[in-house]
Structure formats: structure tokens, C-alpha cells
Structure 1
Amino acid sequence: MMEDLDLLKKDWKRSENTFRQLSEFELYKMIHKKSSSIVKWILVISILEFIILRGLDFLILFDDEYQNKMNVVHLYNFEIILTVINYIVLILFISFFYKNFKTINASSSVKRLMKDILKTRRIVKYYVWYNLFLVAVSSTVAVFSEVKNNSILNAFYSKHETTLYLISFGIIVILFLVFWVFYKLLYGILLRKLNENYFELKKIDVA
């Protein structure tokens, strides 16, 4: 009777461990699928953003009226150089996003997937901060070049230097905040979901 009881206990523990392993495996597969989907959306959104926004940049640069306006404030060459650099950097980021998508799809363990999620989150953050840095630089150059070269603003500047500096700084801050909110909404939600997936995987890994 005692032997039968011991066998029953061993069989119950074996069944419990098997059920737990299956549950963890199923949870990993679900998180893996969700993470892959999130990274795919990051890739798709970055491509759409590139096509729409950088496409507009390209069209504007070859607009005669815009070109004349930029030449007046001596910014056209700066715009050309900045646009070329921006195209190269953004294409590199998109290639990284594509590589991350392929890597996460091929992840074969909890630890590997956790590392891939952290890497993806880090690159997305670099991408967002690069874009915000670009906004800060381009808007600063544009605003102060306009002040310096626009005859009306230049006359106002000679009389109200401090006021114009404050207004210019305010415009730059507003532009920065608008783009910060834009990227926070666009990529912040996806990064939060990736973060949640990471902590769910951590629970499995610890267990």
C-alpha cells in the first residue's frame, strides 16, 4: 500500500513538472510571437515615416520658391547637406530594425529572446534621440539664420535683442516638444509592450 502511494506521488510530481514545462514553453512561444510582431511594426512605421517625411523633404528641396527663400537666408546648402546625411543615417537605422526583426524571429531560447528585446529597445531609443537631436539642430540653425538674414527681423533684433532671443528659444523648445510627443506616441507604446514582454520572459527564466 505504501509502495503504491509512493508511486502515485512520484507520478503526480512528474505530471506537475511536465504541465509546468508545457505552460512555460507555450508562454515563451506566445511572447516570442508578440515580440516579433512588435518589432515588425517598428520596422514598418520607420519605413513609412521615411517615405512620407523624407519624401516631403526631397520635394521641398527642389521647389523653386522654397529654394529662393533658403538662398536668401543662406540655408539651402545646409539643407542639402543635412538631408543627405539624414537619408544615410535613417537608412542605416531601418536596416538595423530589419536585422532585429530577423534576429528575433530566429530566437531559440528565453535568454536569447531577452537579449534581442533589449537590443531592439536600445536601437529604437537611439533612433528617437537622433531624430530629436536633428530637430533641435535644424530648428536652431533655421531660427537664428532667419533672425540674422531677414531684414525685418534684423531691424527688430537691433532694438530688442533679448526679447528676440527668448522668442527664438521658445520656438525651438516648442518644436522639440511637438516632435518628442510625436515619437513618444509613435514608438513609446511599442517599446512599453516590448518591455512588458521582457519582464514576462524574466519570470520564466527565473522560474
Structure 2
Amino acid sequence: MDELDLLKKDWKKQGEKFNELSYSEIYNLIHKKSSSVVKWIFIICIAEFVFWGLISLLIPDSFLEIYEKLHLKTILNIFYVIHYVVSGVFLYLFYKNYNLISVIDNTRLLMKKIIKTRKTVNYYVYYNIIMSVILSLIVNFVMFSKPDLLMQVMNPKNLVVNTDKFFTIMLIAQIIGLAVTIGLLWLYYRIIYGILLRKLNKNFKELETLE
């Protein structure tokens, strides 16, 4: 039983005489908890932004040379720019949501902001997953549309290989890799943002009870 549940239990015991005071205390507690949750969403989003930025800086040049040979570097750079711009927009929205919730002193308005924050988080999760799928599909389409170039890049020593079997294995590996990546992304967002969203949902239901 958390602090809010204890306060509600005490409220019921005290009777009508203290209802106004207890209502204010419960609202303030819900408000504080909601503000804290949105702040953590903002902090985690910043951490992700910094993490992926560092990863992109640490990628060795030899790895990027493969994409350059496959004429994919420009496409990847365009996607990186789009991704960071969109991520920056989400950062701003999360920060804006945190600021707005921090100063709200109206129950109905707080409920609306919680709903808005939930939608923003869901859009952020869907965006990252869909963006990963689109990027993977485009990269694979470009690679497999130039089989001779792909074979030259992946088999620089010109070893004797069964071309059809090679491309089949590579395609299957790409599909499995994409499935694993999407699965891990979904699991990560489900755990991290799922916990925070459940807390927001609980706060929303408590506000509905107060109303």
C-alpha cells in the first residue's frame, strides 16, 4: 500500500469534517507523482538521445565503408538527420508536458495533460519501431537490388560460392535480425515506458475518483 492509498484510507476514517483538506492533500500527492513520472519520461528520452548519438560516433570507419560501397551512406545520413530532428521534437514535447503538469492546479486540466502525455509516449514508441522497420526495408531493398555489387562487397576475395544459396541465407539472416531487433525494442519500451504509463494511468483513475 503506497502513500496515496494510506491517505485515502485515513480520509474515509476522518469523515466529512476533513473532506476538503484531505481532497486537497490527495490531489497534491497525485499531482506530485504525475509530475515525477513525466519528468522521468523526459530524462529517459534524453538518455536515449545521448546514447544513440554516442553509438553513432563510436561506429568504426571500416563498418561504414561497407555501406559506402553499397551506396547506402547517403540514405543512412538522411535517416539519421530525420531521426534526430523527430527525436528533438519529442524531447521538446516531453519537456513541455512536464512543465505544464508542474504548474497545473485544476483536476480536469491535470487529467487532460495526463491523457496527452500518454498519447505522446505511445507516438514516440510507435515512431521508433516503425522507423527501424522502414530503414531496414529500404537498406535491404537497395542491397538486394544490386546483387553483383552486393556479392563483390560481401565476397571481396572472390571465393567460389553458390550465389542463390548465399543470397537466400543472407535474406533469412536479415529477416531474423530485423525480427530480433524489433522484438528487443518492443520489450524495452514495454518495460521502461510501460511502467511509467501504468503509473500515469493509476494517477488518472485516482483523479477520476476525486471528480
Q: TM-score, normalised by structure 2?
A: 0.80
Structure showing greater radius of gyration is 1
For residues 115-143 of structure 1, the C-alpha deviation after alignment (integer angstroms, 9 at most, x for no partner) is 00000010011001101111112223334
The 4+ residue runs of structure 1 with deviation greater than 6 A are 152-155
> For residues 181-196 of structure 1, what are the structure 2 equivalents within 5 Å?
181-196=187-202
Asked if 1:204 corresponds to 2:190, the answer is no
Identical amino acids, percent of aligned pairs: 36
Provide the C-alpha distance between the structure 1 equivalents of 2:64 and 2:180, rounded to a whole number of angstroms. Answer: 25
Asked if 1:81 corresponds to 2:82, the answer is no
Provide the C-alpha distance between the structure 1 equivalents of 2:114 and 2:76, rounded to a whole number of angstroms. Answer: 35
SS state of the match for residue 150, structure 1?
helix
Asked whether the equivalents of residues 28 and 201 of structure 1 are also in contact (C-alpha less than 8 Å), the reply is: yes
Shift of 1:110: 1.1
Asked if 1:121 corresponds to 2:127, the answer is no
- Equivalent of residue 109 in structure 2, options 95, 104, 112: 112
Q: TM-score, normalised by structure 1?
A: 0.81
Shift of 1:105: 0.5
SS state of the match for residue 105, structure 2?
coil
> For residues 41-60 of structure 1, what are the structure 2 equivalents within 5 Å?
41-60=40-59
Provide the C-alpha distance between the structure 2 equivalents of 1:18 and 1:107, rounded to a whole number of angstroms. Answer: 26
Asked if 1:151 corresponds to 2:157, the answer is no
> For residues 166-181 of structure 1, what are the structure 2 equivalents within 5 Å?
166-181=172-187
Change (3 A) 1:27 1:74: same
Unpaired segments ≥5 residues, structure 2: 1-13, 156-160
Structure number with the higher helix fraction is: 1
1:23 match: 22
Shift of 1:82: 0.5
Provide the C-alpha distance between the structure 2 equivalents of 1:196 and 1:29, rounded to a whole number of angstroms. Answer: 15
1:93 match: 90
